[in-house]
A and B are shown apart, each in its own frame.
Chain A
Amino acid sequence: MAEHVTLTINEKEVSVPARTLLVDAARLAGVEIPVFCSHPKLDPVGCCRMCLVEVDGPRGTAMMASCTMPVGDGMVVRTDTEQVRKVQEANLGFILLNHPLDCPICDKGGECPLQDQTMRFGQGISQLIEPKRLAKKHYDISDTIVLDQERCVLCWRCIRYLEEWEDKPQLGLFERGNDTIVDIQEGRPVDAKTSGNIIDLCPVGALTNRVSRFAYRPWEIERTPSICMHCSVGCNVRLDSRTHQLRRIVGRENMQVNDQWICDKGRFAHGWVNDEKRLAAPLLRKNGKLTQVQWSEALAYIAGKAAGIKEKYGADAIGAIGSGKISNEGNYALQRFMRGVIGTNNIDHRDGGDVAALPTGLPALAELMKPQYGPDPQVDTVLLFGVDPSEELPVLDLHLKRAILRGGVKLIIAHARKIELTRYEGPYLAYKPGEETQLIDSLTQAVQGTAETEGDSAARAAAGLLSESEKALIIYGPMAARGEGGPVVRLGLEQLAQAAGEGTRVAYVGLDGNAQGCRDMGVLPDRLPGQFPLDDAEAKARLERLWGCTLSGSPGYTYKQMLDSQEMRALFVNGANPAAESPDWAASLDDLDLLVVTDLLPTETAEKADVVLPAQGWAESDGTYTNLERRVQRAPKAVADPKSRAAPDWMIFTHLARQMGAAWPFTDVRSVTEEMTWAVPAYAGLNWEALGDQGRQWAAEAAPAPESTGRAAAGVPAGASEEADYPLSLVTGTVLYDSGTLFGLTEQMHGMAHGATVTLNPADAATFGVEAGSPVTVQSDQGQLEVTAAVDAQVQQGTAWIPESLPGAPVGALLNGSYTQRVRVERR
């Protein structure tokens, strides 16, 4: 078949790629064909009959559905004849037959394809005098989506999305003929992690947003193209705001990142932006109580206190914690403040220096999306090591599912839990926290063929897949590479990749929205901006010239070390909440001479602070964020609370630096972005204008090589007595719907949140005499936790699964700063 075919649409010759659908060919030719069921991202079904056009064929002219009809060479198509117009009018009449026309109270009104097409192609009058069909109106098919069956025009888009993309057919058609309705299975709400996309897809107001219900009208909102910061995929979104409030978030197309899909957390969990609990004024501890003060007073207090501590105990007694939830600008200003003004490398973030990462993130998200769009797949096998995309990176999960289903990508999963993606064919390799290295070693040996993995068919199958594949990609996350054993895991994975062959790559993905940017900006105790080692003379000289100061060459403390250490006298905490993570840390924060917390909301750490500074969030100030594939993207200011005195992070530290005698040249956020492009060579040229609406990926070659420290394995196997006392290995990690501050403040989603539970394997539950729902105490040698038990075969035998940040159940109480822990579960 020829690559291109030529056809005539409305007397105009067009040449389009073969196998293009007629409706797409018409769009390329600039001819509009009205559609309801057809969607460029979904398979054609041809059920709405709106797209009928005249096609000349061997047996005369016929009306054909252009959305299911591939183009043919020499085809003659007409879309503007009297016949087509009449058919469109009649068809719209049939579609409107049962449509209730309650547009004034419908959230879709104003951006509704049915409204628009009725105005453009409709008859203009109604011929219907009979009563309309009645069906269920406004009932919830999940906590976040409302279905109105009367408005539905049966286009199947929602059904097809859930089948084709989510692979979770949770919506279906029921009844027949005139009574056909879309519905969920009785009592089984839609729970796909990206189900909100069906709201965007719906061509009428049948599916609407529960969280933003009646909160906006399309004609009265301001639309700001932005990105989502809930996870490191960095999906492109649009923020719809009105009267200084964020009203709604919808997906925005970026074919390099998220296609046009976003997950439900990104879409619905924005209640915190305008929450009244937001910090709105600086607080200073006076007589033991946090009191509202002016910015000048708070900053002068910090500057005086910090200078005193620096003089008395030295600069290394001061530390700072940045955050993967804060923009590049905020993180850059913070580390410049610590390195340039205070003079220490004590700067880190959670999952920063304590995690053995790789500097460049994923090669490209588009490579994982590729199988569905192009004939040139860049990845044929994916090994997920300690990452659960379904809970941690839902849109990556979507891409992977599509790659598996349509691109034939093979999946290998190594995880402490039998994660959701294990439902696809492929080996699942279980390990217990702390035993990652053994698994990697055995896998590497199996790939090399040096050792026969006795009886473990999964490892053999995985090794087989890896050695067969030409373009394998190993993705690992922070859960697998934390702490002492981290570098060993990283080294092991690199050796595994080498053993698996030339085309195999290893990629590290952070979990926080700006995890990559944090590293790029040098919010690491042993890395300068641009991820250069501290002893890189060229990078050091460049920064000293840029900042006009001399830089300390001794590595600072990591996040964990700063909080564990008794030598710290002052700590700046930005967008982090270590007090909630460990009782020991909470106690050591109390002992500090100065604790400055900069945050959006009052946290456990802020309650202990001497000074609390209110920061602006991602929607309130301009900022750039770097996603897991190194794409630097803009998040412009979308809303501003006129009553709040919160300031962006970069501004807080610029003023603080000035108070402490340093003259920083920043006048606005653009100047910070500009300086970043000089300080980080990989970001050269990536200023605000250059980034545009779709962001730009920085070249992986620009990153310095990661240090290859092959430290000895530090994983200490538990002693026999310990195993007897604490028989279970604690598995923790991130779930999408936790009770973190950024999720918990969206009231409508409370029902979706993961409960305060410990999940056990059915066999273990039977051993300990625990049933689902029974109240239990989980105990480790660090502390204990009272939760409810749940039983699920997803959890492997010998482990207990408690996610991070559950309501009233901080797993940190058991871990107390460590990464692996053994626990026992007792009935209360």
Chain B
Amino acid sequence: MEFGDFLKGASEIGKAMGVTLKHLRQRPVTVEFPHEDIPIYPRFRGRHELRRYANGLERCIGCCLCEAACPTEAIYVEAAENDPDAPLSPGERHAKVYEVNLLRCVFCGDCEEACPTEAIVLGHDFAMANYERKDFVLTKEQLLNPGMPKVIIRPE
């Protein structure tokens, strides 16, 4: 009885060690971020961006549909009328204020779906850590000028 138990225990340990030894030969899955880059999928949903048309006009028309679609009320839009001589967007209406609260956002992508002009998109930037709470509220200025995030896109 005792010997049988011993053998059973040893085989279990052996099995477990086998798993460990097998993984010794594999490369680690963790990445030394931020010293190393993480390849992400093309449809990865990261920090929001507001797009422009090729002629420089903002795509956003301030329709507030993203705000309506947002399940966590992370988006705040305030619309205003375009100055016909210096329009910010095509048509009569543009977004005077466009804010995304990253602390509230769950990156579901419903805002992208709702947008009739494909103005708001979730980009690839995921390095969004900050020191101040107020810095987590992205302004329209920040959203329009997202910069180039240091990410590698991997094939799907």
Question: Which residues, 120 to 148 on A, are CB-close (under 8 Å) to B?
Answer: 137-138
Q: Is the interface of A mostly helix, strand, loop or mixed?
A: loop
CA distance A213 to B96 in the complex (A): 13
CA distance A152 to B98 in the complex (A): 30
Determine if B79 and A214 form an interchain contact, defined as CB atoms under 8 angstroms apart.
yes
Complex interface: chain A residues within 8 A of B64 (CB):
217, 220
Determine if B81 and A104 form an interchain contact, defined as CB atoms under 8 angstroms apart.
no
Report A748 CB to chain B, min CB distance, Å: 11
Determine if B81 and A105 form an interchain contact, defined as CB atoms under 8 angstroms apart.
no
Complex interface: chain B residues within 8 A of A213 (CB):
81
Q: List 6 A-B contacts (CB under 8 A).
A: A105-B92, A213-B81, A214-B62, A214-B81, A214-B93, A217-B68
Question: Which residues, 100 to 138 on B, are CB-close (under 8 Å) to A?
Answer: 116-117
Complex interface: chain B residues within 8 A of A105 (CB):
61-63, 91-93
Does B38 lie at the interface of the complex (its beta carbon under 8 Å from any beta carbon of A)? no
Does A641 lie at the interface of the complex (its beta carbon under 8 Å from any beta carbon of B)? no
Given contacts A102-B91, A105-B61, A105-B63, contact A214 B116 (CB under 8 A): no
Determine if A220 and B68 form an interchain contact, defined as CB atoms under 8 angstroms apart.
yes
Per-residue CB contact flags for chain A residues 175-218 toward chain B (1 = under 8 Å, else 0) read: 00000000000000000000000000000000000000111010
Report A149 CB to chain B, min CB distance, Å: 14
Complex interface: chain B residues within 8 A of A102 (CB):
91
Binding site for A on B (CB under 8 A): 61-65, 67-68, 79-81, 91-93, 116-117
Given contacts A105-B91, A105-B93, A213-B81, contact A219 B68 (CB under 8 A): yes
Binding site for B on A (CB under 8 A): 102, 104-105, 109, 137-138, 213-215, 217, 219-220
CA distance A785 to B91 in the complex (A): 47
- Name which of A213, A214, A215, A217 has the most chain B CB atoms within 10 A of its CB: A214
Complex interface: chain A residues within 8 A of B79 (CB):
214-215
Given contacts A214-B79, A214-B81, contact A104 B92 (CB under 8 A): no
Chain A residue nearest to B65 (CB atoms) is A104
Chain A residue nearest to B64 (CB atoms) is A217
What 16 additional pairs, Cβ within 8 angstroms, besides A220-B64, A220-B68?
Answer: A104-B61, A104-B63, A104-B65, A105-B61, A105-B62, A105-B63, A105-B92, A105-B93, A138-B92, A213-B81, A214-B62, A214-B80, A215-B79, A217-B67, A219-B68, A220-B67
Determine if B116 and A104 form an interchain contact, defined as CB atoms under 8 angstroms apart.
yes
Chain B residue nearest to A104 (CB atoms) is B63
Complex interface: chain B residues within 8 A of A214 (CB):
62, 79-81, 92-93
CA distance A102 to B89 in the complex (A): 14
Chain A residue nearest to B117 (CB atoms) is A104
Chain A residue nearest to B80 (CB atoms) is A214
CA distance A34 to B93 in the complex (A): 30
CA distance A213 to B62 in the complex (A): 12
Complex interface: chain A residues within 8 A of B67 (CB):
217, 220
Chain B residue nearest to A210 (CB atoms) is B81
Chain A residue nearest to B114 (CB atoms) is A104
CA distance A158 to B24 in the complex (A): 80
Complex interface: chain A residues within 8 A of B68 (CB):
217, 219-220
CA distance A102 to B93 in the complex (A): 11
